[in-house]
Chains A and B, each alone.
Chain A
């Protein structure tokens, strides 16, 4: 397979024998997917950026992670786009050696891409995973880049080309990755930003302490030594001289017969006098006004991948989590569970011989615990499963309401006994978390409802789920 070259027509003329000349705007992507790397040749930033964006916004790992090189024929914003690419050469630096470099470099990257299951098929288009995968395959970090076109005041050039629009949700993306301990940051800078939109472009405005008008005027205050008169400069101005309004002397030399010990503001709107104006900031992006002390004051960091990220890179986030839970918890589908429940209610109503109990177990923050435990998480979930299965009998049924809520039908069991059983479950889980996680995590919530044959399945389920969500 030949690498793809795209961009200006000049590219075709120069390299058409070694490359496949393609333009993403016109062609289907299969040629790009199978190419070992892509080389952009361009004189125009917008063209180069558009091509790169086309590649990165694909949902096929083998395409969006592809090595992309650039031959710069005089691009204006080269510093920025360079950081979103694998390697850039100036046109005059480019030679045979460069081509060798491309092949070797892309070979390494492609090996890593192939570790991802289904990397040639369309998959999960989650930007978080795409960024993690990019960092993983390049073994690179995210470096902040000061920028006036990004309203955050900085950006990570690598991530930009994954987004639909510039700076769309960059803050959310970074905090998501950081909160889940997939990346870790190191201090680079600190900025002030808008509480509403995170923009760093703020107008710091001095305003009147009373009426908040920005129409204020600063005056120097003059102290005349010999008579102790103190007042604003305007009290002293007589045509082209300064004359003391109290003793009528002409002021001669600052520091000798008078001094300027302070400044004072006066408001042209309400006449208020003050020495320290209030300061308010207005966001250039969304016009939100803030007091400086209320502004966001985030740290700008450079990020590197955490160990935990590698499993997410390979299997995807949801995939991984659900996969483990389903594997470790033998259960029936929620739909069939509901049918069984109705049959059970009907049986109890008809025979009135026994009662059954429905139990709910909710794991709070299980995903976070999972992510923070890395490889150990799998073992942890197995143990959880064992603890729960220990109290169940063969006739009991278990289903997953969602990833964190488990519902169990305990047939022929009075509520009192069910509660006892689950107190034991809770105790054991506490012990487990104490032993395996560094601190005891109170993350389990249990709820029980008795089935007496009076309520319908819907009423029972509603009652059970009532408190489960907070």
Chain B
């Protein structure tokens, strides 16, 4: 009680300027970023909502008139156990004109038997088997080589789709001929498996469902998730498909942006994916993701930052800058902020941490309410109930994820660990390192 009294006294004794100075990290970065994006989204829908609904109606009408063939490519290794469920769920899609190409990237379990059976039963159109593993990019490219569709949907075998997801992920191509790729919304399927999945479900809604929607409208979306995304086949062929991973989702998006095509995020195209159910497994997943960010943004596509290049594009530049800044830069600035607090306000650090915490909870709550409104058509009940977990969220996003990311960035920068990552077969990683990808 005393602590709370002291805390209130402490806060009320400070002027707004003083607080801003002590809480600069929150105000300059997170508040601006998230609060402004919420404002942006609200305005956007207030002004254009009706126009968009009309545009969607027309696009759907066109889609159902032309009925283009869609090739669903599902690359993966040892994913046989998911294939029955996958083919069953595709059977009930509202959009029917698609082919399914499952690429088995050198599985050493019974995937081949399951795939061949489903192929014989006509539940998947083509089952392609690589006897040896070549990595996810090569598997996806194998599928692409034999795809007949005008559009490609790339998805993971353990992704499940809402009944209208295929229709909704293709729809945006009919908004605007210049759209080259559409990112589907990816949500957490195992929401209530553990605290770790609760937190991730919240994180996905905040960063993907809301964050990417905003980025897409600002035309700075930089990733089409491999779990569920769609591409115009023509453009994929022009850029030669996927390059060596990890991080190939982000990589291919950049290449499509370089063709001066737009990337669209479609909230109505909802897919669900299983997420790691312990914090340990989650950390491993995030190490991989974070390292690939460094590798692809900063090493391979460094020319995006070259304002003198003839390929220079201001949106690509902004997209990259935003990404690198918020992910890599901010991560280190946050440590700097902690250092700053200890240096300038060592005695009041407990009050400041509490204050920070409360501000984040407040910000998250406001933001989640925006989500509840914005995603009202597709949010499931268990996703809506995540609002009760919000008081825990700053521990997850503010502390846990920051530590994981920092470790990953440092180790990648210093040791190029992603080349040794088990994720790619060694023969491919070795080539990548030699070629300085």
Q: Is the C-beta of A15 less than 8 angstroms from some C-beta in chain B? A: no
Distance (whole angstroms) from the CB of B270 to the closest CB of chain A? 29
Let me know if A273 and B126 touch, CB within 8 A: yes
Find out whether the CB atom of B240 lies under 8 angstroms from the CB atom of A227. yes
Q: Do B134 and A223 have beta carbons less than 8 Å apart?
A: yes
* A225 interface contact, C-beta 8 A: yes
Interchain CB contact under 8 A, A228 and B127: no
- Given A226-B435, A228-B137, A228-B428, also A261-B127 (CB < 8 A): no
Question: Nearest Cβ in chain A — how far from B93, in angstroms?
Answer: 23
A192 vs B106: C-alpha distance when bound (angstroms): 33
By a CB distance below 8 angstroms, the chain B residues around A221 are 130, 142
Of residues 236 to 288 in B, which have CB atoms within 8 Å of A's CB atoms? Answer: 240-244
Contact of A429 with B by CB under 8 A: no
Per a CB cutoff under 8 Å, which of A245, A247, A274 touches B126? A274
Q: Which residues of A contact B126 (CB under 8 A)?
A: 273-274
Distance in Å: Cβ of B15 to nearest Cβ of chain A:
58
B331 interface contact, C-beta 8 A: no
Task: Say whether B216 faces chain A, with CB atoms less than 8 Å apart.
Answer: no
Residues of chain B with a CB closer than 8 A to A227's CB = 240, 243-244
- A250-262 interface code vs B (CB 8 A; 1 in, 0 out): 0000000101011
Indicate which residue in B130, B139, B241, B427 contacts A225 across the interface (CB closer than 8 Å).
B427
- Closest A residue to B146 by beta carbon equals A273
* Cross-chain contact of B134 among A230, A247, A275 (Cβ < 8 A): A230
- B135, CB-defined interface residue at 8 Å: yes
Is A276 on the interface with B (CB-CB < 8 A)?
yes
Closest B residue to A276 using CB positions:
B116
A226 to B138, CA, bound (A): 10
Q: Which of A229-282 contact B (CB under 8 A)?
A: 229-232, 235, 245-247, 257, 259, 261-262, 264, 273-276
Please indicate the chain A residues that have their CB under 8 angstroms from the CB of B138 in the complex: 223, 228-230, 261
Residue of A nearest to B142 (CB): A230
Asked whether A229 lies within 8 Å of B141 as measured between CB atoms, the reply is yes
Q: Which residues of A contact B428 (CB under 8 A)?
A: 225, 228
| Chain B residues in 8 Å Cβ range of A235 | 145
- Is A262 touching B243 in the complex (CB atoms < 8 A)? no
Contact A259-B134, Cβ < 8 Å, known A230-B145, A264-B128:
yes
Partner of B432, one of A226, A257, A273: A226
Q: Does B132 contact A (CB under 8 A)?
A: yes
Interface residues on B, range: 20 to 34
In the complex, per-residue mask of A71-109: 1 if CB is within 8 Å of any chain B CB, else 0: 000000000000000000000000000000000000000
Given contacts A228-B428, A229-B141, A230-B141, A259 and B132 within 8 Å (CB-CB): yes
Tell whether A262 pairs with B129 under 8 Å between CB atoms, given A227-B243, A228-B134, A230-B141: yes
Decide yes or no whether B431 CB sits under 8 A from chain A. yes
In the complex the two chains form, is A229's CB within 8 Å of B129's CB? Answer: no
CB neighbours (8 Å) of B61 from chain A are none
| A275:B141 contact, CB within 8 angstroms | no
Contact B116 A228 (CB under 8 A): no
Closest A residue by C-beta to B103: A230
Tell me, in angstroms, the Cα distance from A274 to B99 when the chains sit together: 14
Q: Which of A228, A232, A245 interacts with B135 by CB under 8 Å?
A: A228
User: B106–A261 contact, CB under 8 A?
Assistant: yes
Please determine whether B116 and A246 come into contact, CB atoms closer than 8 angstroms.
no
In the complex, are the beta carbons of A261 and B431 less than 8 A apart?
A: no
B128 contacts across to A, CB distance below 8 A: 262, 264, 275
Q: In the assembled complex, which residues on chain B have CB atoms less than 8 Å from the CB atom of A223?
A: 130, 134, 138, 142
Q: Is the CB of A262 within 8 A of B131?
A: yes
A225 to B432, CA, bound (A): 8
- Min CB–CB distance B231 → chain A (angstroms): 16
How far apart sit A378 and B141, CA to CA, in the bound complex (Å)? 78
Min CB distance B77 to A, Å, is 12
Residues of A within 8 A of B427 (CB): 225, 259
Q: Closest B-chain residue to A228, C-beta based? A: B137
* Complex-state Cα separation, A228 to B251, whole angstroms: 13
Q: Which of A230, A232, A245, A275 contacts B127 (CB 8 A)?
A: A275
Q: How far is the CA of A261 from the CA of B132 in the complex (A)?
A: 6
Nearest opposing residue in chain B for A221, CB measure: B142
* Given A225-B431, A228-B428, A230-B141: A247 in contact with B131 (beta carbons within 8 A): no
In the complex, which residues of chain A have a beta carbon less than 8 angstroms from the beta carbon of B145?
A: 230-232, 235
Query: What 0/1 pattern do residues 96 to 108 of B give for CB contact below 8 A with A?
Result: 0000000000100
CA distance A235 to B145 in the complex (A): 10
Known contacts A226-B431, A231-B141, A264-B146, then 18 further A-B pairs from the complex at CB < 8 Å, ordered by chain A residue: A223-B134, A223-B138, A227-B240, A227-B243, A228-B428, A229-B240, A230-B138, A230-B139, A257-B431, A259-B427, A261-B106, A261-B130, A261-B134, A261-B138, A274-B126, A275-B127, A275-B129, A276-B119
Q: Mind listing 28 A-B residue pairs with CB under 8 Å?
A: A223-B134, A225-B134, A225-B427, A225-B428, A226-B435, A227-B240, A228-B134, A228-B135, A228-B141, A228-B241, A228-B243, A228-B244, A229-B141, A230-B130, A230-B141, A245-B240, A246-B241, A247-B240, A259-B134, A259-B427, A261-B130, A261-B132, A261-B138, A262-B130, A273-B126, A275-B127, A275-B128, A276-B119
> Closest 3 CB pairs between A and B?
A246-B240, A228-B137, A261-B130
